[in-house]
Amino acid sequence: MSEQIESVETFRLRAREWIKANLGPIQPFDLTQDCADDEEELVAVARDRALQRKLYDGGFAGLCFPKELGGQGLTPEHNRAFNEELAGHEYPSRFTVPTFTPCAAVIMEFGTPEQKLAHIPAILKGEEFWAQMLSEPGGGSDVAGATTSAVRDPATGDWILNGAKVWTSRAWWHDWGIVLARTNWNVPKHQGLTVFLMPLQQAGVEIRRIERLNGETEACEEFMTDVRIPDSDRVGEIDGGWTVGQRWMFHERMGHNSPYVTQPVGLSHGRTEATPVAIARQAGRIDDPAAQELIGESRALGLVASELQRRLASGAAAGKGNTDMSSVARLFRGMANVRQRTIAFDLAGAGAAGWTEEESDGVGVQGMEFLMRQVSCIGGGTTEISRNVIAERVLGMPREASGDKGVAFRDVPRGPKRS
């Protein structure tokens, strides 16, 4: 006889009592994950590990993960209820993306029983942070064009990894990474890829920080030199990495709306906490009809994005609809974020022309936010790729012409031709 699942409303009341008794108010670095320096960030990382462990000990970690792996075996509706009750409270924000999704989601879908037992309980207990390693310095948005190579050692069966990955968020303190590598150069690019699990803090892995326009250094670049990976840490079939990769990118597009993620409902991950209303008020434009119209537009975009993500997440969890519809949400989220930052900049007016290092919200910082607005269309898979996915896999339009179709990857030109 199957075990009866606790009703969502009963679970909600139990979660509400536990949250109020065990979790404090939400912290600024839950909203932005920005810290003053590396020392403060490591303190925040340790705090998130402790919070994740608290959730685990309280029976609220991994609500949609199987019980045999340390989860609760509940439904996306239970997870939604918990996230609604979590509003206003602290939570282990650094575990959401990419640890729970796409990384844990990929392990759940493609990992061996041994891999799941080794890593899912450790993630749920707060013992392992995971990074996703897809992008490469010379690859742009062409994920399948990966040149990081993995060569099999015939003597041991291990794989020797060499190459570079880039734009890996906060890799300098993460524990593990999921890596897409080239294992066969004699077949078309999509057919010669394999996915591996790799400890990040080891000899042969050099991690460098990347400084962005706004001074952030959360993104990293990794250089792998003769890194040895046992075959037991291979995910999926040899040369079958694109099958894994497609689902990997689906889970990436789901982002914070994945049923695997614990996060307060309605939480914004913008760098600034200032709302359009607060910006307009500070700029002296709160009674300006044009400003009010912009405020309404920004609010409408936020509501549509939230409801679109919720609808698509519910459909995916129930196995309904085209899973590539997640690209619709990805595209809308990126474009809406650009527009919202533009609205904030417009509301701020001339005061946004300059800002100080001390500013974290309000009028002045909107200039920096405006300069960084396109990040939302690049990070987490570009909106250009989402447009292609929507056209080809959702609308059924013809595939975009490609010069490397059916060509062995080693014969595909890379870089400018030399005379």
Give the per-residue pLDDT at 272: 46
CATH number at residue 212: 2.40.110.10
Q: Say if 204 falls within a structural domain.
A: yes
Which amino acid appears at position 90 of this protein?
Answer: E
- Examine the fold and report which residue of 81, 113, 129 is the final residue of a domain before the chain moves on: 129
- What whole-number percentage of the chain has pLDDT above 70? 92
Residue 121 lies in a domain: yes
Q: 164 and 93 in one domain?
A: no
Q: Is 164 found in the same domain as 84?
A: no
- Residue 402 inside a domain? The answer is no
Whether 405 is covered by a domain: the verdict is no
Name which of 62, 208, 51 is nearest 137 in CA terms.
208
Sort residue 157 into left (φ over 0), alpha (ψ -120 to 50) or beta: left
Residue 61's Cβ-count burial label (10 Å; 0-12, 13-18, 19+) is: buried
Q: What is the token pair recorded at 159?
A: 């794989």
Cα–Cα distance for residue pair 49/289, rounded to 1 Å: 47
Q: Are residues 161 and 202 in the same domain?
A: yes
Same domain, 145 and 125: no
Domain count along the chain: 3
Q: What is the pTM of this model?
A: 0.84
Pair 387, 298 in one domain = yes
pLDDT per residue as tens, the chain (419 positions)? 457 899 999 999 999 999 999 999 998 778 778 788 999 999 999 999 999 999 999 999 999 999 999 999 999 999 999 999 999 999 999 999 999 999 999 999 999 999 999 999 999 999 999 999 999 998 777 899 999 999 999 999 999 999 999 999 999 999 999 999 999 999 999 999 999 999 999 999 999 999 987 778 889 999 999 999 999 999 999 999 999 998 998 888 888 888 999 999 877 554 445 789 999 999 999 999 999 999 999 999 989 988 887 787 777 666 666 678 888 888 998 999 999 999 999 999 888 877 666 655 567 678 878 888 888 888 777 888 889 989 998 899 998 787 788 899 999 887 655 44
Report yes or no on 260 lying in a domain.
no
pLDDT at site 359: 57
225 and 115 within one domain: no
Residues 51 and 63 in one domain: yes
What is the span of the domain harbouring residue 313? Answer: 270-394
pLDDT for residue 12 = 98
Q: Say which CATH number the domain at 54 has.
A: 1.10.540.10
In the DSSP assignment, the letter for residue 4 is P
Contact 105, 120 (CB under 8 A): no
Residue pLDDT, tens place only, 350-394: 888 776 666 555 676 788 788 888 888 887 778 888 899 899 988
- Which pLDDT score is estimated for 91? 96
Residues 376 and 302 in one domain: yes
Q: Are residues 110 and 137 in the same domain?
A: no
Same domain, yes or no, for 79 and 143?
no
